[in-house]
């Protein structure tokens, strides 16, 4: 188990940069090649829509597969190859198709890693190990962003792609070093152990009849409708105001947020054990309106600290609490990973619309107005979470 644990932690450290490729730097790269914010947001939305459509099928694939490690290897390699297309052409359709391919390939990676973790550590250890996974993942994101910013500044975007390739190779080596026998495929999908072979997975209709899952999905959809565009749009706002070097500023936004997420992931473990998952998610939802107000009034290089620290709080807490809550809600159904995919679909619906809404708002009414509107989208999430507390608290 120690070998598998170390390999899983290494996988989470390296895989974020493999998944993202040149994605975090896409906005400023296209801006430098004459694109406007509305079209940048639109092309990101196309990729988001593709990810939404694939999230639930990918989760179902993870549930049924006995080769979960390869559901990380193959999509990860495809993601890196798709990112390379942006270097060859900056025309609309090559960039759009690259984003679509990246989203489709990446849809399986999150549920696959969640399934591997559940299969190795069972329900009793899943929430804690997910928190540890996310701490390593955010640390890897911060290191990758720092290196990408340095390489992008010194050598240009092709060097950022080269770093993504290196992280992909390390991710593939890490996941393949997890012993196959350490992953129990029944436990990984939320069923009992091998001694209880009479257990069978329930039909997919269990997702539609699960009220806590539906409430969680609705709240996350509103949150990500506001959250997804905030980071790339803030980068565009500061760069357009000529307040910072594009590559180094984008890297700094990611580094500040990801460093905060490491702390938030560890804090989420302790807060979950003491107060439960409901409060953890309420705090995460409430962070976005404050972040939107700050972003609207601090369009300056130093604003990255308060704006992105709040991003780290919200996303860091959710990265631990959401998978843990879905696993608890669907425990015993055999549909945990398709449930993870369904929740990712709800998140993706909001996230895929967010860049287009934010981009056109910024183009037509200015960046300040865009940030206020995006932050306001989280208020329905807070209200939903409080109103349905009686349904959610038993599961959380």
How confident is the model over 306-364, as pLDDT tens digits? Answer: 888 888 899 889 989 999 999 889 888 888 888 888 898 898 888 878 888 888 888 88
The angle subtended at Cα 133 by Cα 384 and Cα 221, nearest 5°, is 20
Contact status, residue 181 vs residue 194, Cβ threshold 8 Å: no
Look at residue 192 in the predicted model and tell me its pLDDT. Answer: 64
Look at residue 48 in the predicted model and tell me its pLDDT. Answer: 73
Cα 67 from Cα 174, distance rounded (Å): 15
For the record, the structure tokens of 306 come out as 């308060």
Cα 49 from Cα 66, distance rounded (Å): 28
Residues (pLDDT < 70) of the chain are 1, 16-25, 28, 157, 192-204, 239-251, 396
Could you tell me how many residues make up the chain? 396
For the record, the structure tokens of 169 come out as 């190779």
Phi-psi region of 21 (alpha: psi -120 to 50; beta: other; left: phi over 0): left
For the record, the structure tokens of 150 come out as 């340095």
Contact partners, residue 81, CB within 8 Å, separation at least 6: none
Domains, the chain, ordered by start: 2-186+205-392 (1.20.1250.20)
Dmax (CA) of the chain: 64
Q: pLDDT (tens digit, 9 = 90+) per residue, 139-176?
A: 887 787 778 777 877 787 677 777 878 888 888 899 99
Look at residue 197 in the predicted model and tell me its pLDDT. Answer: 44
pTM score of the predicted model: 0.78
Cα 46 from Cα 58, distance rounded (Å): 18
Report DSSP letters for 228-280, one per residue.
TTHHHHHHHHHHHTT-S-HHHHHHHHHHHHHHHHHHHHHHHHHHHHHH-HHHH
Cα 132 from Cα 8, distance rounded (Å): 10
For the record, the structure tokens of 257 come out as 């947020």
Cα 391 from Cα 396, distance rounded (Å): 9
Look at residue 44 in the predicted model and tell me its pLDDT. Answer: 76
Q: What percent of the chain has pLDDT above 70? A: 89
Look at residue 308 in the predicted model and tell me its pLDDT. Answer: 81
Look at residue 107 in the predicted model and tell me its pLDDT. Answer: 80
């Amino acid at each position: 188990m120690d070998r598998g644990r170390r390999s899983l932690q290494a996988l989470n450290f390296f895989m974020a940069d493999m998944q993202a490729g040149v994605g975090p730097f896409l906005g400023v790269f296209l801006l430098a090649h004459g694109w406007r914010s509305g079209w940048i947001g639109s092309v990101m939305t196309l990729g988001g829509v593709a990810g939404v459509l694939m999230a639930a099928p990918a989760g179902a694939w993870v549930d049924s597969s006995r080769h979960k490690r390869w559901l990380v290897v193959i999509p990860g390699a495809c993601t890196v190859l798709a990112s390379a297309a942006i270097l060859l052409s900056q025309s609309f359709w090559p960039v759009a198709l690259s984003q679509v391919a990246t989203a489709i390939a990446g849809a399986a990676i999150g549920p696959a890693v969640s399934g591997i973790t559940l299969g190795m550590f069972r329900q009793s250890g899943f929430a804690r190990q997910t928190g540890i996974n996310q701490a390593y993942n955010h640390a890897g994101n911060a290191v990758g962003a720092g290196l990408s910013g340095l390489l992008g500044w010194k050598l240009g975007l092709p060097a950022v792609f080269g770093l993504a390739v290196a992280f992909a190779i390390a991710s593939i080596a890490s996941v393949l070093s997890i012993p196959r026998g350490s992953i129990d495929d029944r436990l990984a999908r939320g069923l009992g152990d091998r001694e209880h072979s009479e257990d069978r997975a329930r039909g997919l209709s269990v997702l539609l009849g699960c009220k806590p899952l539906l409430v969680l999905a609705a709240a996350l959809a509103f949150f990500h409708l506001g959250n997804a565009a905030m980071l790339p749009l803030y980068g565009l706002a500061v760069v357009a105001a000529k307040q910072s070097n594009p590559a180094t500023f984008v890297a700094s936004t990611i580094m500040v947020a990801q460093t905060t997420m490491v702390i938030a992931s560890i804090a989420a473990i302790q807060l979950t054990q003491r107060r439960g998952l409901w409060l953890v998610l309420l705090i995460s939802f409430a962070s976005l309106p404050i972040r939107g107000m700050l972003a609207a009034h601090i369009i300056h290089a130093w604003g990255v600290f308060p704006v992105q620290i709040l991003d780290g709080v919200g996303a860091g807490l959710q990265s631990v609490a959401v998978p843990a809550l879905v696993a608890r809600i669907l425990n015993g159904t055999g549909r945990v990973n398709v449930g993870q995919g369904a929740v990712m679909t709800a998140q993706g619906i909001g996230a895929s619309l967010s860049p287009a809404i934010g981009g056109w708002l910024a183009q037509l009414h200015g960046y300040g107005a865009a940030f206020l509107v995006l932050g306001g989208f989280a208020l329905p999430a807070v209200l939903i979470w409080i109103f349905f507390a009686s349904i959610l608290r038993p599961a959380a």
